Structure 1
Amino acid sequence: MKTSSETIDWIHSLLPFGIKPGLKRMEWMLDKLDHPEKRLKTIHVGGTNGKGSTVSFLRHALEEAGYCIGTFTSPYIETFEERISVNGVPIEEEALVNCANRIRPLVEELAESDLGSPTEFEVITTIGFLYFATIAKVDLVIVEVGLGGRLDSTNVITPLISVITSIGFDHMHILGNSLEEITSEKAGIIKENCPIVSGVSQAEGRAIIREKAKQTSSPYYQLGEDFTQLLMESSEEKQVFEYQSKENRVITLTMQGPHQRENASVAIAVLDLLKNMGFTIGERELIRGLQKTTWLGRFEKISNHPLIVLDGAHNKEGLASLANTLKQHYPNRKYRFLLAATKEKDMEILLEPFSEMDAHFTFTSFDFFRAAEATTLYNQSPVALNQKGYHQNWETAFDEEMKMLDNRTMLIVCGSLYFVSTVRKKWYSKKDMNQM
């Protein structure tokens, strides 16, 4: 392989191997590579929602403090390469090709063994560890869990700190149907004598994490118990809150919504632990880094006039957070939603948070093998949502929605991160064309 395009095509060719929970294939490949993951200092971030935002809060604060920070995240919004980044800069072509060519013979050898071929995500994870350890040589890597925790391919690391941002109902066909089952899978990232910081809100979830921390002799820090946050001021542009712990801080965020105050609070607790481990992070750098933080596709404004927001909310808890964000920051606006989702989603459950809001929903679809039909989403949606319509072609639907916007009305594009990514690419490609 000589180019990024060839390399990414090869990686995607492993997609048919699907999701195969377990760590044996990862351990086999990493052993052959002399364990690059053991040469890295890491933070491991799991949870249902809030992982990406928490990773971004941590990265920006640590960058402000002068550190070189690797991030491993998924899925991507703009380009495949952004999943493996250093200080926000995606892996360069030469490095991606180099790492993939080193790994490909191992993948082929493994495919012929009893363990079978590694999955696409396992190969991407291995490329990330190899790149960070041998080429980028970063100070710290913030690793986002792909799915679950206990059997996720990232769970081969022994981090400085483990983080569980939240627990909700997603990927239940793999993680379990109860909050307790899902939490147990997420808590699988907790390692022996490794501090755990939790943003989990449910009492039953906290109890499981607390018990796992006790079993592993891991110091446990819980949002709402060991640290908390209190909103002070809010507008369409920002929110200001007080972080309350052993020392209180006033924090300004451009990231919007109550859930982002919680994610930022979890990040601050992690940063304070890192300071105790010898990292030098000044108060000014910490506060400035959090204020600078943005995250593509998470309540991202792509236009102010008219107001258009992209949000990757795609499960019950994520859409509840989106509804709360609108109530907090945009209480006097009229809302129009353009929504596409994957086949396994239940609209009646997902849209319940909006049943009392003055909102219009247009359901659509997009070019993705798991995308639901627009009519299916329309028919599933709650009867209480009497302001609704559908159009199978999302670009036509988007153009129609644009005609409905005025100074009081905003458009929210949501339902799937894959859909948000599709809309975002089209929006910015059009803008670029108009500027030529």
Structure 2
Amino acid sequence: MGRLEEENVNAAPFRTAAEAVDWITGLMPVTGIRPGLERMRLLMEKFGHPERRLKFIHVAGTNGKGSVCAYLNRVLRQCGYDVGMFTSPYLTSYSNRLQYNGEDIPDDVLLRLVNRIKPEADAMADTEWGPPTMFEVTTALALLYYGTVAYPDYVVWETGLGGRLDVTNIVTPVVCVITNVGHDHMDLLGPTLADIAREKAGIIKPGVPVVTTETRPEIVDIFREKAASGNSTLYVLGEQFRFESLSVSEEEQSFSFSDPFRTFPSLTIRLGGKHQQANAAAAVMALEVLRQYYALIMEDGDLEEGLRGTAWPGRLETVSREPRVLIDGAHNPEGMEALAAALRDVYRFDKLKVMIAMMPNKNHESTLRHILPMVDLLVITEPDFHRKMKAGDLAEVVDRLQKEIGRPDRVIVEPDWRKALEKLTEAEDAASPGTLHLVTGTLYLIADVRSWLLQGTKSEKGW
């Protein structure tokens, strides 16, 4: 290494990727969540607007957006395209959020790009705008990675929170997807579903097609009005495209699909729960729009194989067979309703044991009402995260509902999630195939339990 190179390395803010990630994740407790796009616009201007060189598929919604992203990513790659995928939260490590062709961003690239971002972030901190947030720095990192290093054909781009003021809304996509509108982040997005719908509709750009699986007329009308104002074509489930369930099992499920362009008599997916058929249908409709209007080359066989091969961790995922452990990040009423439906319609068990932890800003009573009537044993715990709902506080909610519903039969409160997991699986019937152990609630709990059961380590989970 030459002297000049050595001096440049020494002058860099960080020497390792771990140091760079520690700085980014350390911003969360300091800056919190500050909705708005002005700081992102200023950062992108400093870097020459890398977002303008890329083709994005922007995905928003209360539930299912991660699964839709997974379907899109897998099918596009099956078709031979290079694909970037930006998602949140992450379940194993920070780098999971920034993938290119299924691989996490390399450490050396992450380090180099964060060393470019840090001086600009410091300079911004000294202005009236204040320091950029963790979300903003991470999004800037993604845009620099995809727009200056990887150059994918498409970027599957998941909204972090809401839509209108979410930092991902800095991009102009080729197609948008809005899965649904539910009771989540109401402290930030508004007290009603209409308020939340307007925030999510904020990703709709003039002239950009929109796909939605939302079917409630009052919500669809909000999307329709926003799309019409910018001459954007809206594809609504049940109107412009449809699917019909053909079969459902624990291992796979199939459905038929039709849109204005063509019909597929049968498509197969392996993600669990009937709600995944709607998520897959949204992805297919978005891909069909790209095929019809943007010359996407997609053979029927590649679509079928891509859908069948899609996996998405933490969503109705079996992580252990003996004992039988299922994990699902159902953290709001709509997510828990879908989970409860899957348990009734798909999974077979004689006894259901559930471990749960939640974040403090959720609609807990409405969420729990969907699952408690089915539960024999409930273990209440806490996620290993700086923002969390105390196990005792969640137990109070359960106690009120238990008196009304009469279930679950038994409740254990154990704040330590590792000890809680032991209590969930320690009984003599734990190994019985008739006993299903379910870990659900916040993804911060799901992340740790998944890593612990599969790798024997904690995760680096977070946003």
Does 2:228 match 1:214? yes
2:325 is aligned to 308
Which amino acid in 2 is paired with 1:10? Answer: W
Q: Choose from 401, 418, 423 the match for 2:424.
A: 401
Q: Choose from 15, 19, 25 the match for 1:6.
A: 19
Please tell me whether the aligned partners of residues 58 and 177 of structure 2 are also in contact (alpha carbons under 8 angstroms).
yes
Does 2:255 match 1:241? yes
Instruction: Rate the CA distance shift 1:304–1:175 in 2: closer, same or farther, 3 A.
Output: same
2:166 is aligned to 152
Which amino acid in 2 is paired with 1:6? Answer: E
Please tell me whether the aligned partners of residues 206 and 231 of structure 2 are also in contact (alpha carbons under 8 angstroms).
yes
Which amino acid in 2 is paired with 1:78? Answer: T
1:275-424 matches, within 5 Å, as 275-276=291-292, 277-381=294-398, 382-383=401-402, 384=405, 385-387=407-409, 388-404=411-427, 405=430, 406-424=432-450
Does 2:37 match 1:23? yes
Post-superposition Cα deviations, 1:156-184, rounded to whole Å, max 9, x if no partner, equal 11100011011001110110011110000
Deviates more, 1:323-332 or 1:78-87: 323-332
Q: TM-score, normalised by structure 1?
A: 0.96
Instruction: Calculate the aligned-residue CA RMSD, in Å.
Output: 1.4
Q: Choose from 151, 163, 166 the match for 2:180.
A: 166
Q: Choose from 224, 239, 256 the match for 1:225.
A: 239
Does 2:147 match 1:133? yes
Which amino acid in 2 is paired with 1:315? Answer: N
Instruction: Rate the CA distance shift 1:5–1:431 in 2: closer, same or farther, 3 A.
Output: closer
Instruction: Rate the CA distance shift 1:428–1:358 in 2: closer, same or farther, 3 A.
Output: closer
Q: Secondary structure at the match of 1:14?
A: helix
1:39 is aligned to 53
Please tell me whether the aligned partners of residues 451 and 457 of structure 2 are also in contact (alpha carbons under 8 angstroms).
no
Cα distance between partner residues in 1 of 2:457 and 2:149: 35
Q: Secondary structure at the match of 1:367?
A: coil
What is the deviation of 1:357?
Answer: 2.3
Cα distance between partner residues in 2 of 1:396 and 1:144: 34
Instruction: Rate the CA distance shift 1:369–1:13 in 2: closer, same or farther, 3 A.
Output: closer
Please tell me whether the aligned partners of residues 268 and 307 of structure 2 are also in contact (alpha carbons under 8 angstroms).
yes
What is the deviation of 1:236?
Answer: 1.7
Q: Choose from 66, 71, 80 the match for 2:80.
A: 66
Please tell me whether the aligned partners of residues 65 and 280 of structure 1 are also in contact (alpha carbons under 8 angstroms).
yes
Q: Secondary structure at the match of 2:254?
A: strand
Q: Choose from 279, 286, 290 the match for 1:270.
A: 286
Post-superposition Cα deviations, 1:273-301, rounded to whole Å, max 9, x if no partner, equal 11121110110000110111111111111
What is the deviation of 1:39?
Answer: 0.5
Cα distance between partner residues in 2 of 1:396 and 1:10: 31
Please tell me whether the aligned partners of residues 19 and 119 of structure 1 are also in contact (alpha carbons under 8 angstroms).
yes
Deviates more, 1:405-414 or 1:325-334: 325-334
Q: TM-score, normalised by structure 2?
A: 0.91
Q: Secondary structure at the match of 1:54?
A: helix
Please tell me whether the aligned partners of residues 346 and 380 of structure 1 are also in contact (alpha carbons under 8 angstroms).
no
Post-superposition Cα deviations, 1:53-72, rounded to whole Å, max 9, x if no partner, equal 00000000011000110001
Cα distance between partner residues in 1 of 2:221 and 2:71: 26
Which amino acid in 2 is paired with 1:216? Answer: G
Regions of 4+ moved over 4 Å: none
Q: Secondary structure at the match of 2:195?
A: helix
Q: Secondary structure at the match of 1:11?
A: helix
Percent identity between the two aligned chains: 38
Which amino acid in 1 is paired with 2:290? Answer: L
Q: Choose from 71, 92, 99 the match for 1:85.
A: 99
What is the deviation of 1:334?
Answer: 2.5
Which amino acid in 2 is paired with 1:122? Answer: E
Which amino acid in 1 is paired with 2:216? Answer: Q
Instruction: Rate the CA distance shift 1:366–1:21 in 2: closer, same or farther, 3 A.
Output: closer
1:108 is aligned to 122
Please tell me whether the aligned partners of residues 179 and 204 of structure 1 are also in contact (alpha carbons under 8 angstroms).
no
1:163-202 matches, within 5 Å, as 163-202=177-216
Which amino acid in 2 is paired with 1:14? Answer: L
Q: Secondary structure at the match of 2:388?
A: coil
Cα distance between partner residues in 2 of 1:431 and 1:27: 38
What is the deviation of 1:30?
Answer: 0.2
Q: Which runs of 5+ in 2 are unaligned?
A: 1-13, 459-463
